[in-house]
Structure 1
Amino acid sequence: MRVVKSGLAAGMMAGAAMLAHQAFAQAVPAPAGAAPAVRPAPPPPIYGWVPKKNPVQAYVAPNKPWWKLADVLALHKGQASWSQPIVRNKDLMADWHQLAPGAKKPEVLYADNRVAMIVWSGQVRVSIKGQEPFVASKGFEINVPLRLPFTMETVGSAPALWLEVHEAGDIPIYPDTGTSTRPADIKGVTYTRSILSGGDGVYDGANKPYLDYYKDVVGANGRAGAFIASDHMFVNNIRGKGTPTPPPTNLGHFHTNYSEFWFVMEGNVDYQIQGVPVFTASAGDVVTAEVGRWHRASFGGPVGQMATRVAINPFPRGLHNYTPESNGRQ
């Protein structure tokens, strides 16, 4: 979630709602020439006794505080196509995927949840039911609603690499085209031919098929903001200029019921996570703060250089808990 000066006091549900409101507002650009929106003043702090894990939540593989992209690539050196689990928690899971030139993923859909992706290298043609196929390259963020079949196909001479995020435990459904064969069963699952009900998922004003982040935000010097803000998934771009790292006494905040992770899209981001030495993550890295751990993110140096972290968690209105001494500010 966002670790910024506009945060509010511990236990404050109204403050969380304000953060979500701001994220939604950032996701919809103002018309050209329009006067800047005036943000309402935050409500006064409300204090509460909040349950915090003690001892703190342990990191269990594949989870770890800092997955460096270089380390992931080293694990799969010489492989053309591969996948690497990065995040597993009770709400979400995330994996790196690389697809060899000319290779294509089978068409799949997911029953009740969205899929989010961030493309990092190469080019991949994305075909989603009801949408014109598009080619995604570095910096594209992709949003596939529930029950929309989609495929991924590498184009060009280089492999395509992307981070893919699902709801925890989601298993793909393979459309039956009449000529397709029954998928192989996996542990604990028997694939059964069925009629699918419930209708297709849809795009709306707050959820678009894709965002070309480097063109539409970095190239245009635009405002970052929420890319996906829906039930069970929040993908929020947070961009700013490099600043001096705050002192260790600034703990940031913690979340009561969920873990949070970030993809570093641009520049450097400094992290302080409870029980972990302070570190600076670079573009392409993935960072996780387990549930209940104090954590703080700040835009890394050099001072003035822009940086972006993409915060990913299950709740657009997730609760932030701050120390009373902070007055709800980082």
Structure 2
Amino acid sequence: MRITSLWAASCTAALVSALALQAAAAQTPPTQGPRPAPPPPFNAWTPKKTPYTPWRAPNRPWWKLSDVKALHKGKAAWTQPVIRNKDLVADWHQLAPGSRTTTLAYSDNRTAIIVWEGEMRVTMAGQEPFTARKGFEINVPYRVPFTLEATGAAPALYFQINAASDMPLYPADAAAPPKVAGWAYEKRIVTGGPGGFDERHKPFVDYYAAHVEGGARPGAFIADQHLFVNNIRGRATPTPPASNLGHFHVGYDEFWFVMEGNVTLQVEGAPVFTAAAGDVISAPQGHWHRASFGGPEGQWGTRVAVNPYPAGGHAYSEESGGRQ
């Protein structure tokens, strides 16, 4: 059988048409009903990481956006690795004006993108192309090919999150993929079809228009297998005392993208610090951490919490009663 395209092998025309029909409705921000009451906590012997695990490069407690830009000063296009753990990877990317990414898809998990500077035209199979600018959060389902193009006179700067296990798929009629050590790309039939959208998962949300200016209640933008991207918004308050340890996670690292205002992080193994919009902060698996909104009292702030488990467990001290 002649394989004309990787996507023809994995998607039927009917499925692509169905995805296209969803495009118009999918351009609106996600709506959410009342939040269900959380289940009651329980006591358990819980494994706590000890001694402290240092952040292994490129991971850091605090990646300042200013430091990232300084590393690539004078370059029109670049990539900066920021997060590497057993579950997720995340990088800053900058596209030169007029340039575009190679069309590709990721095999088994969604891709999350936060646009921070410039404008990008996003082309995603089954959806109408759209232009994304600062504050747009983009959701690309698994096995859906997409392309990003920097439009306008300025470079496009964006932050991309993928599952650590995922590797890109390339159209079979495209040029030979880049070489990857330990792997050899071969033309094969891929089953399973593309992922899609639903009432919770939309192709994008313009966070500033919907939540900062529009006043819509934020929440999870992606809550799927291996990827949880959760918008948390609140007003700045005095930093809690150091005795408030927060919580830790038994099975995974967590990181946050500061979307708005300031976020103060107390994390085991590092001094307390306050990050600004555009910064990325992180806490390793098994480390106490407590994130709060910093800056002038009353100022709004948003942190985008990212981890691999929508229903991930939180371990608190007995004194806290299960509250941070």
**Unmatched segments (≥5 aa) in structure 2:** 1-28
The aligned counterpart of 1:126 is 122
Once the 2 structures are TM-superposed, how far is the Cα of residue 171 of structure 1 from its aligned partner?
2.0
Once the 2 structures are TM-superposed, how far is the Cα of residue 329 of structure 1 from its aligned partner?
1.1
The aligned counterpart of 2:321 is 327
Match of 2:83 among 87, 103, 125: 87
Q: What aligned pairs does 1:1-330 form with structure 2 within 5 A after superposition?
A: 28-29=31-32, 37=34, 40=37, 44-177=40-173, 180-330=174-324
Partner Cα distance (1:48, 1:27) in 2: 36
Partner Cα distance (2:125, 2:215) in 1: 32
Partner Cα distance (1:89, 1:171) in 2: 15
TM normalised by structure 1 equals 0.87
Q: SS of 2:106's equivalent?
A: coil
The aligned counterpart of 2:19 is none
Instruction: Pick closer, same or farther for the CA change 1:38–1:104 going to 2, 3 Å.
Output: closer
Length, aligned pairs only: 296
| Amino acid aligned to 2:221 | F
CA RMSD of aligned residues (A): 1.4
State the Cα deviation string for residues 304-323 of structure 1 (Å, max 9, x = none): 11000000000000000000
**Unmatched segments (≥5 aa) in structure 1:** 1-25, 31-36
Given that residues 254 and 320 in structure 1 are in contact (C-alpha distance below 8 angstroms), is that contact kept between their aligned partners in structure 2?
A: yes
With CA pairs under 8 Å and 6+ residues apart, which has the higher RCO, 1 or 2? 1
Partner Cα distance (1:310, 1:185) in 2: 33
What's the % identity of the aligned pairs?
Answer: 58
Once the 2 structures are TM-superposed, how far is the Cα of residue 301 of structure 1 from its aligned partner?
2.2
Instruction: Pick closer, same or farther for the CA change 1:150–1:38 going to 2, 3 Å.
Output: closer
Partner Cα distance (1:311, 1:214) in 2: 17
Partner Cα distance (2:177, 2:31) in 1: 41
TM superposition outliers: structure 1 runs of 4+ over 6 Å: none
Given that residues 27 and 225 in structure 1 are in contact (C-alpha distance below 8 angstroms), is that contact kept between their aligned partners in structure 2?
A: no
Given that residues 118 and 142 in structure 1 are in contact (C-alpha distance below 8 angstroms), is that contact kept between their aligned partners in structure 2?
A: yes
Partner Cα distance (2:139, 2:284) in 1: 25
Once the 2 structures are TM-superposed, how far is the Cα of residue 170 of structure 1 from its aligned partner?
2.2
TM normalised by structure 2 equals 0.89
Given that residues 27 and 226 in structure 1 are in contact (C-alpha distance below 8 angstroms), is that contact kept between their aligned partners in structure 2?
A: no
State the Cα deviation string for residues 163-203 of structure 1 (Å, max 9, x = none): 000001422111123xx222232211111111121111111
Q: SS of 2:79's equivalent?
A: strand
State the Cα deviation string for residues 109-133 of structure 1 (Å, max 9, x = none): 1111110000000000000000000
Partner Cα distance (1:38, 1:232) in 2: 22
| Amino acid aligned to 2:209 | K
Partner Cα distance (1:181, 1:101) in 2: 23
Instruction: Pick closer, same or farther for the CA change 1:228–1:274 going to 2, 3 Å.
Output: same
State the Cα deviation string for residues 225-257 of structure 1 (Å, max 9, x = none): 000001110000000011010000000000001
Once the 2 structures are TM-superposed, how far is the Cα of residue 43 of structure 1 from its aligned partner?
5.0
| Amino acid aligned to 1:173 | L
State the Cα deviation string for residues 67-94 of structure 1 (Å, max 9, x = none): 0000000000000010000000000000
Partner Cα distance (2:224, 2:179) in 1: 31
Given that residues 283 and 289 in structure 2 are in contact (C-alpha distance below 8 angstroms), is that contact kept between their aligned partners in structure 1?
A: yes
